[in-house]
Amino acid sequence: MGDGMLSKLHEHVVSELQQSSRTDTVFVVSAVLFNLVVLGINWGVATASHGNDPAAGNDWILGVRVIATLLINTFAVRALVAGRHTRVMLISGLLSMYKDNGIEQYYDPSLLETYAARYKLFVAVLIILAAISILVPLLARLLG
């Protein structure tokens, strides 16, 4: 493969990695903000009272919001898993390209493990925030 084509391929793969990182960032930030907003709203719904029966219509609203929280967080986690898979494929391709050109010593393959750990932490944060945004209002409803 000519140097010009190799350079363009490298540029394309790096561009894809950058786009993947931006997409992952959007999913993580959006899901975190969503969970924090939902926590506040769910807490308000869980503790609000209507007339003599404090649980009357709010239980349905709270239930729908809990289901929505589960769905949105599931989609965010799946998107992160797909992003991780994409990153692994792209970096593996780069490593092969570097090896074929005798420059693999300049890229530490253990970075793949670092990226995997980072994705696991992102997923853990989303799961914990989702659990808090669901459980705290439910406990407030049951105990309050």
Domain boundaries, the chain: 28-143
Closest CA to 108 of 90, 122, 94, 120: 94
- Which has more pLDDT, 57 or 49? 57
Q: State percent of the chain over pLDDT 90.
A: 58
Q: What is the pLDDT of residue 54?
A: 54
**108 CB-contact burial (10 Å; exposed 0-12 / middle 13-18 / buried 19+):** exposed
**How much is the pTM?**
0.82
Categorize the per-residue pLDDT at 86 as very low, low, confident or very high, splitting at 50, 70 and 90: very high
Query: CB count, 10 Å around CB of 2?
Result: 7
Return the CA Rg of the chain: 22
Task: Kindly provide the residue ranges of all beta strands, DSSP E only, lying in 45-96, ordered along the sequence.
Answer: none
Categorize the per-residue pLDDT at 121 as very low, low, confident or very high, splitting at 50, 70 and 90: very high
Q: What is the pLDDT of residue 46?
A: 78
